[in-house]
Amino acid sequence: MKWFLVILNISKTHLLSRIKQSSIAALGVTFGIGAFIILMSFMTGLNGLLDGLILNRTPHIHIYNEIKPNQQQPIHLFDEFSTNLNVVYSIKPKQTQLKIHNAQPIINYLEKDAKVKAALPQVKTQVFYMAGAIDLNGIVTGINAKNESTFFNFQDYIVDGKPEHLVNNLNGILLGIGAAKKMSLKIGDRVQIATTKGEIIPLKIVGFFQSGLADIDNVQSYVNLKTAQRILGENENYITDINVKLFDIEDAVPMSQMISKQFNLTAIDIKTANAQFETGTSIRTLISFSVSFTLLVVAGFGIYNILNMMIYEKMNDIAILKATGFSGYDVKLIFISQAVIIGFVGGVLGLIIGFIASKIISNLPFETQALPTIKTFPVNFDYMFYIIGIVFAMISTFLAGYLPARKAQNIDPVEIIRGQ
Amino acid sequence: MTKVLEAKNINKYFKGAVDFHVLKDVSFDIKLGEFTSIMGKSGCGKSTLLYILSTMDTDYTGELYFNNELITGKSPNDLAYIRNKHIGFVFQFHYLLPEFTILENVMLPAKKLAEKSMQEIEHDAMEKLRLLHIDDQALKLASKISGGQKQRVAIARALINNPTIIMGDEPTGNLDSHNADNVFNIFRQLSQEQKLSLLVVTPDKEFADKTDRIIEMGDGMIIG
């Protein structure tokens, strides 16, 4: 230990006596690591935002009754044709109801499952918003507003008003912002809704909904579950969709298969529905890593260069250290420790600069239609980046220092002393 | 008297297109407390011999004994330890570490040896500097003192671990006559008062004449 302190003391003196060179070398690392932290924090923050756009409000499993033609046509039941290739043209779907049969027991069953965070019922129906002489197409979804906020971040998409106003309010509606603009409506106004069966129901606007996708905002509105059932003229059993949120998204695929088999319903898992998201995320992360890596390699070459020059300047010192009893290993350690000190100091500075810059970025205004509640740039302050950053800095400077240090280790003192 | 250093049939070649036989069957020994000089013309191989005796150069044939122990073929780390503990060096060019203070330069070999505490080492270093009348410069940077002073610091450094032998490679070669006398007197004093063995390579006949024993070399061989 004492011996190591002696080595460290020598490297410290070397570094301090060339403070300019040392700081330039350290600054290289600082910029590399700082850029790494800023890039990663910003990129993953943005990734999280973009993924959250979809993932937060998309159920992990969406259960509904799909209208589709029956695969099992009468001819398939007829033994005589079983060996033939039977072609049936223009198969039409059977008249069935959209409601999920026995929805409440299914929800109860799912909520008992340890993997399930929540299973929320919804009622979807088509309506027309009546604006004077014009009827606008619309979709009204009946929800349990409180649970939707808890599990699907519903409140993030309400620009005016609050989702709570929908709770216990059978006459309230959260109108899509696009539709509201078309009809020049504001909070507190009434909107007439015509159901597909021709009934007209007046509802009071308690807030506006904005998803950031214009096509959705022009048609989508939310009401209380019971209101939706009333619009359809159905009883409380009438539920068209069940949205399931799981604790672990990885369970979505097997679980959806199990559900569709068990209940004979269509169950779409999030991975099938949004397969492209993971690809985008991983490519963005890859780009950030490779840019930072390049920066660090450049910094590493800087350190390599400076140490190499230092060793040429220090030939005499190396010879004298060896002549007075320092081993080649000691000499190697002196130069490696210099590189690692440069890496550590530069790296820590880089972390600090990266953190400060990330803080500044996270306070810059950033307005987006897609996420009305986001006002500043999203930045991810994950401590893992800081750990990776400093480890990265130490390893790259160690490697940059290792080669010149090994050269110093192998210097023959006799050659230097004789050469004078 | 005990032999401090003994060389047996040392041969060395400089490798090249044609191998050059620098040292031819050199054998001699140095006894405890002896002040010996190796004298010879430039190029006769005297420095080369010194580097072999100093354990820094290991590329030779023959056998080298230090305190009656064979050291030929030992690992570089063992040799570094022997240099550190038992051999003190003084070179023609002073070879101090320019960024360190005088005191630190003197302390460094003792720190490497790590047999004493820092306080003891510092105390010893000051003692050695006082012995060489340079203790008033102890906290100056090594690059900031004169050549004669540097050489005295180098001697103090050579003494710090209380070595068995001090080797000098033309230690006065770069000094004016005043400083050269000074250095010689220090060597003489060390040899008499501390029973140190000294082995000094010099082309200077005057210097050599004042030592206890002269080994004269010519053409890679001991001739007298």
Q: What is the pLDDT along chain A (420 residues), one digit of tens a residue?
A: 677 888 888 888 888 888 888 888 888 888 888 888 888 888 888 888 777 777 777 888 888 888 878 777 888 888 888 888 888 888 888 777 778 888 888 888 888 888 888 889 999 888 898 877 778 889 999 988 888 888 888 888 888 888 788 887 888 898 888 888 888 888 888 888 888 888 888 888 888 888 877 888 888 899 988 888 888 888 888 899 998 888 888 888 888 888 888 888 888 888 777 766 677 778 887 887 888 788 778 777 877 887 788 788 888 888 888 888 888 888 899 888 988 888 899 999 999 999 999 999 989 888 776 666 678 888 888 888 899 888 888 888 888 888 888 888 888 887 777 765
Whether A327 sits inside 8 A of B77 (CB atoms) is: yes
Q: What pLDDT, on a 0 to 100 scale, did the predictor assign at position B114?
A: 79
Domain parsing of chain A, residue ranges:
2-55+277-419, 61-68+98-270
Helix (H), strand (E) at residue B14: strand B3-14
Q: What pLDDT, on a 0 to 100 scale, did the predictor assign at position B1?
A: 64
Whether A316 sits inside 8 A of B95 (CB atoms) is: yes
Q: All domains of chain B, ordered by start, with CATH?
A: 3-213 (3.40.50.300)
pLDDT tens by residue, A32-51 = 888 888 888 888 888 887 77
Q: Which residue of B has its CA nearest to A319?
A: B95
* Nearest-neighbour CA in chain A from B161: distance (Å): 10
* Nearest-neighbour CA in chain A from B55: distance (Å): 9
* Nearest-neighbour CA in chain A from B206: distance (Å): 23
Q: How many A×B Cβ pairs under 8 Å?
A: 73
Whether A257 has its CB under 8 Å from any CB of chain B: the answer is no
The region that residue B97 occupies, defined by phi over 0 for left and psi between -120 and 50 for alpha, beta otherwise, is: beta
* Nearest-neighbour CA in chain B from A23: distance (Å): 18
Q: What pLDDT, on a 0 to 100 scale, did the predictor assign at position A349?
A: 93
- In this structure, chain A runs to a length of 420
Whether A410 has its CB under 8 Å from any CB of chain B: the answer is no
- In this structure, chain B runs to a length of 224
Q: What pLDDT, on a 0 to 100 scale, did the predictor assign at position A352?
A: 94
Whether A329 has its CB under 8 Å from any CB of chain B: the answer is yes
Whether A3 has its CB under 8 Å from any CB of chain B: the answer is yes
Q: Spell out which residues of chain B touch residue A17, defining contact as CB-CB under 8 Å.
A: 99
Spacing of C-alpha A31 from chain mean position: 26
Residue A37 near residue A358, CB atoms below 8 Å: yes
Q: Spell out which residues of chain B touch residue A325, defining contact as CB-CB under 8 Å.
A: 80-81, 83-85, 109, 112-113, 161
- Best of B82, B112, B113, B161 to disrupt the A interface (most A CBs within 10 Å) is B112
User: Which residues are CB-neighbours of B127 under 8 A, at least 6 positions away?
Assistant: none
Q: What is the largest CA-CA distance in chain A?
A: 107
Q: Which residue of B has its CA nearest to A419?
A: B93
Q: CA-CA distance, B217 to B114, in Å (whole number)? A: 38
Half-sphere exposure of A259 (CA within 13 A, CB side): 30
For B88-139, what is the HEC assignment?
EEECCCCCCCCCCEHHHHHHHHHHHHCCCCHHHHHHHHHHHHHHCCCHHHCC
Q: What pLDDT, on a 0 to 100 scale, did the predictor assign at position B128?
A: 83
Whether B89 sits inside 8 A of A323 (CB atoms) is: yes
- Best of A324, A329, A420 to disrupt the B interface (most B CBs within 10 Å) is A324
Question: Among partner residues A14, A321, A323, which is closest to B99 by beta-carbon distance?
Answer: A14
Q: CA-CA distance, B182 to A262, in Å (whole number)? A: 104
Whether A418 has its CB under 8 Å from any CB of chain B: the answer is yes
- Best of B78, B90, B94, B111 to disrupt the A interface (most A CBs within 10 Å) is B111
Whether B95 sits inside 8 A of A319 (CB atoms) is: yes
Q: How far is CA B110 from CA A180, A416, B85, B124, in A?
A: 86, 23, 8, 9
Q: What pLDDT, on a 0 to 100 scale, did the predictor assign at position A370?
A: 63
- Nearest alpha-carbon partner for A231 in A124, A103, A122, A102: A124
Q: How far is CA A224 from CA A36, A143, A287, B120, in A?
A: 47, 5, 45, 86
- Nearest alpha-carbon partner for A161 in A147, A148, A177: A177
Whether A330 has its CB under 8 Å from any CB of chain B: the answer is yes
- B176-192 as b/e, with b when 16 or more CB fall inside 10 Å? eeebbebbbebbeebbe
Q: What pLDDT, on a 0 to 100 scale, did the predictor assign at position A387?
A: 92
Q: CA-CA distance, A220 to A192, in Å (whole number)? A: 15
* Nearest-neighbour CA in chain B from A319: distance (Å): 9
Whether A325 sits inside 8 A of B85 (CB atoms) is: yes
Question: Among partner residues A14, A316, A413, which is closest to B56 by beta-carbon distance?
Answer: A413
Q: How far is CA A193 from CA A38, A181, B50, in A?
A: 50, 16, 108
Which ranges of chain B have pLDDT less than 70?
Answer: 1, 94
Question: In this structure, what is the dihedral angle of CA atoms A310, A314, A319, A324, given to the nearest 10 degrees?
Answer: -110
Question: Among partner residues B76, B81, B91, which is closest to A417 by beta-carbon distance?
Answer: B91
Residue A370 near residue A319, CB atoms below 8 Å: no
